[in-house]
Structure 1
Amino acid sequence: MPNHPAKRPPERNAALCRLWTLAAALVAACLLALVCAGPAPAEPVELTVGVERIDYPPYGSFRQGDYEGYARDLLDSFAIEYGYTMVYVPLPVKRLYQEFLETRTLDLKFPDSPDWNPARRRGLHIAYSDPACSYTDGILVKPENLGKGMGAIRTLGILAGFKPWLLTPPIDPRTIKISENASISGLLGKGLMGRVDGVYANVEAARHLLSAMGRADQLVLDPGLPHMTGCYRLSTITRPLVMQEFDRFLKTRSKLVDALKRKHGLDR
């Protein structure tokens, strides 16, 4: 048979081969980039935080529908570091207990304490954080009534949903008339006008609000009357891991926590 020279592949086939090679290289490069980049960052986990729907500076207040104060700054700082998004749910005090303890529609509650409403907490597995800040609750009176003792307190003003029976020494509810108010500002107003003989309130919150009203020192804590000190804590029933993370945050970011307390006047 006659020998024929080998045929060269057509130029079109060579071009196609080059295109396929380039495409394969691009695909490989993309796959390598994806592997190196790792998985896409997860969306922040949303946590609902039940808070008291009262104007309670410097701890927490609502201004034009926005929650602000020490609690907001503290919890937002924690959320940023641990990849959470906090959704603040303001509720009246009585309903806040119901939503947190009974219907369980809230992930977290602030402020909280195992000493508050202990009967409603019995049998529940509630996790509490380490102290987020301290507080003093006591009875404020007009300066001219300082030192007159409990005998001068015939009517005691309190916030609706709050209980003064934890004061030390305890108050006998049979001997004192209770006058409730939905806001601490309204409660202080009753005390200023003499409609109640004393106001049971958080001392720091009362100072802030009286100053804002231009009535600083017109109601003062009587240290001779029953009072109590304690700590506000974050709590949860459904998110115990979050509580462990929050405790770690309080320890590892103690300088930040102290700075926030100074910012809001809670370092005294």
Structure 2
Amino acid sequence: MPNPYVRRPPATSPALRRLRVPAPVLPTLCALLLLCALTLLYAGPAVAERIELTVGVERIDYPPYGSFRHGDYEGYARDLLDSFAIEYGYTMVYVPLPIKRLYQDFLEARTLDLKFPDSPDWHSGRRKGLRIVYSAPACSYTDGILVKPGNLGKGMGAIKTLGILAGFKPWLLDPPIDPKSIKVSENASISGLLGKGLMGRVDGVYANVEVARHLLSAMDRTDQLVLDPGLPHMTGDYRLSSIKRPLVMREFDEFLKTRSALVDSLKRKHGLGR
């Protein structure tokens, strides 16, 4: 007869017996459970989806500032804006457009979040009534009139036909040029424009000095067109601008200020600020 005071292990069903974990496996299982618990406890917040920003850029070859080549946008502007985007959690989507279309999409259709380069002085009449936010200067530039070395110092009287890039306006030069006093010859590319100047088809070329230097060097025609400092010219700053994203503009200004060493290194990389 069984002793009623002897404790026996409780009966278990075959299903429960199959769920028993062999003793040698228990330490590994406990370690895995602990690791999962610690991962959940100390894991940071989930990574938010990066916000896409559309950046309207000029569909021209404009080194070293920015060029659209081989189906991609490249140059100083690309490196600068990508560096900013990485740090502040954005994804830049570059939209290369002809200059006239770029102004239309940015100022009128307003399909773009940002525009680079930009300046409040460009097409100022079309900007009236718009709340456009401009960044601090991202880099400086000099625009002027390039001539053949033999024509240096002849003054504006020698410029009968001035070559300009389509969509650009030379009327901001100092002193101002009277648009009625000269003939203007437009070109869709700055390389083609410089070619006109080299061949003597125009008397002078209105261009960014740094861009002209880069492209003439690539053509192996360095110093065959030179800036005439006696002719109207101007200096200014390229800025980022936005109508729709004022917060992004404040962040970009912060980036330019706190990462000035990085910005300077990018300028040196692209041969700016010499």
| DSSP 3-state at the match of 1:250 | helix
Deviation at 1:28, TM superposition (A): 9.1
Does 2:98 align with 1:98? no
Aligned to 1:203: 209
**Any gaps of 5 or more consecutive residues in structure 1?**
none
Aligned to 2:126: 120
**In 2, Cα distance between the equivalents of 1:158 and 1:30?**
66
Does 2:142 align with 1:141? no
**In 1, Cα distance between the equivalents of 2:199 and 2:182?**
19
Aligned to 2:175: 169
Q: Percent identity?
A: 80
Does 2:166 align with 1:160? yes
| DSSP 3-state at the match of 2:157 | helix
Deviation at 1:60, TM superposition (A): 0.6
User: Using a 3 Å threshold, how does the CA distance of structure 1 residues 171 and 27 change in structure 2: closer, same or farther?
Assistant: same
Aligned to 1:10: 11
Aligned residues: 264
**In 2, Cα distance between the equivalents of 1:29 and 1:140?**
69
Q: Deviations along 1:50-83, whole A, 9 cap, x unmatched?
A: 1000000000112211111111111111111111
Aligned to 1:48: 54
Q: Which amino acid aligns with 2:175?
A: P
| DSSP 3-state at the match of 1:49 | strand
**In 2, Cα distance between the equivalents of 1:18 and 1:149?**
99
Q: Which amino acid aligns with 1:60?
A: G
Does 2:186 align with 1:185? no
Aligned partner of 2:236 among 227, 230, 238? 230
Aligned partner of 1:243 among 249, 268, 271? 249
Aligned partner of 1:77 among 83, 93, 110? 83
**In 2, Cα distance between the equivalents of 1:16 and 1:125?**
72
Q: TM-score, normalised by structure 2?
A: 0.89
Aligned partner of 1:253 among 254, 259, 271? 259
Aligned partner of 2:223 among 211, 217, 223? 217
Q: Deviations along 1:101-120, whole A, 9 cap, x unmatched?
A: 11111111000001101111
Q: Which moved more, 1:143-152 or 1:41-50?
A: 41-50
Q: Deviations along 1:115-141, whole A, 9 cap, x unmatched?
A: 101111111111111000000000000
Aligned to 2:156: 150
**In 1, Cα distance between the equivalents of 2:261 and 2:234?**
27
Deviation at 1:236, TM superposition (A): 0.6
Q: TM-score, normalised by structure 1?
A: 0.91
Q: Which amino acid aligns with 1:229?
A: T
**Any gaps of 5 or more consecutive residues in structure 2?**
none
Q: Which amino acid aligns with 2:81?
A: L
**In 2, Cα distance between the equivalents of 1:32 and 1:217?**
67
**In 1, Cα distance between the equivalents of 2:52 and 2:141?**
29
**In 1, Cα distance between the equivalents of 2:221 and 2:35?**
71
Q: Deviations along 1:209-231, whole A, 9 cap, x unmatched?
A: 01101111011000000000000
